[in-house]
Each structure stands twice: as structure tokens, then as C-alpha cells.
Amino acid sequence: MAVPMVCIFPHSDKEFRTPDALRDFISDALIALEGRYLFGKIGWKDKNFKSKVIPGSLVLFRKKGFIVGQAISRTMIQELVPPEDGETETGEKAVYYHEIFFITDSIKVYPKLLSVQKIEGWANRKLDPRYYSIIGTRQAYEKSFGVK
């Protein structure tokens, strides 16, 4: 039986200029979109990343060296056929190839930014800021950090 995981969703400067811009997206737009989150090209190093992000997985939203918020997945990552055209927060044209939906009541931003170094210490590995990563099970993460 699959177990809900904890994963990192990184964000480039082309998507969001600052951690605060990502926070605004999470707290406003992501909720207004009923938890629908779109991906451009997904870069991941973890084997079978897409299939490991199951409903109930905890997603941590990363900008540079910080985690700015979290959400719990309602769906798996699905491919968009055809891809959708859109625009990033910075106004650049974007093409979206995948989507995932989050439970809207689970979407939250952190009042204080969480250092990625703290997460790396828990995961016992360095996390590349360009790649989507699985870092452990949701249950172990919540136990260690006392969050839900």
C-alpha cells in the first residue's frame, strides 16, 4: 500500500521573484483556483517522483533557501493533454504540462520562513533547488516537526 510522502516543489525566479510573491500565490491564487496547481516542465531526480505523490502527500513550497508554505495533495500529478498556455507571476509566457489539486483547507503559508537547511538535516541529504524531490514519509515528517 502506498504511503503519503513529503515532497518539495521548487520555484524559479522566472515563476516568482521573491518568497513573499510565492506566499501571496499560495495564500490567494492557489485557494481561489480551488487548489489547482500547474507545472511547467518538471525536473526531478527521485525515481518515480510523479507516482509517489499520492493523495494525502504533503507538499512543501520552496523559494530559494526557504520553505514558504505547504498543502496536502487531493490528487496525483496528471499530465495535461494538450498542455495549457499561461503566464507566470513575473509576466512571462508559460506552457503547463501537468497539474495537481490540493485540499483547499490544507493550504497554508508559514508566518516565519523555514530554512531549507533544517529540512535537509531531517532528510539527511542536500536538496537541489532546481528539482522536485521526495524527502520522506508524511507521518515521519509530522512527527519530527510537530506539524499537520
Domain boundaries, the chain: 5-145
Fold of 5-145: ph1033 like fold (3.10.590)
Could you report the per-residue pLDDT of 106-129, keeping only the tens digit for each?
999 999 988 999 999 999 999 988
Is the distance from CB of 31 to CB of 107 less than 8 angstroms? yes
Confidence (pTM): 0.93
**DSSP, residue by residue, 58-83:** EEEEEETTEEEEEEEBSS--EEEEEE
Residue that is written with C-alpha cell 495535461 in the block: 80
Could you report the per-residue pLDDT of 20-49, keeping only the tens digit for each?
999 999 999 999 999 999 988 777 767 788
* Grid cell for residue 131: 528539482
Could you report the per-residue pLDDT of 1-24, keeping only the tens digit for each?
789 999 999 998 888 999 999 999
Could you report the per-residue pLDDT of 76-105, keeping only the tens digit for each?
999 999 999 998 888 889 999 999 999 999
- Residue 3 Cα distances to 10, 48, 73, 99, angstroms: 22, 14, 13, 20
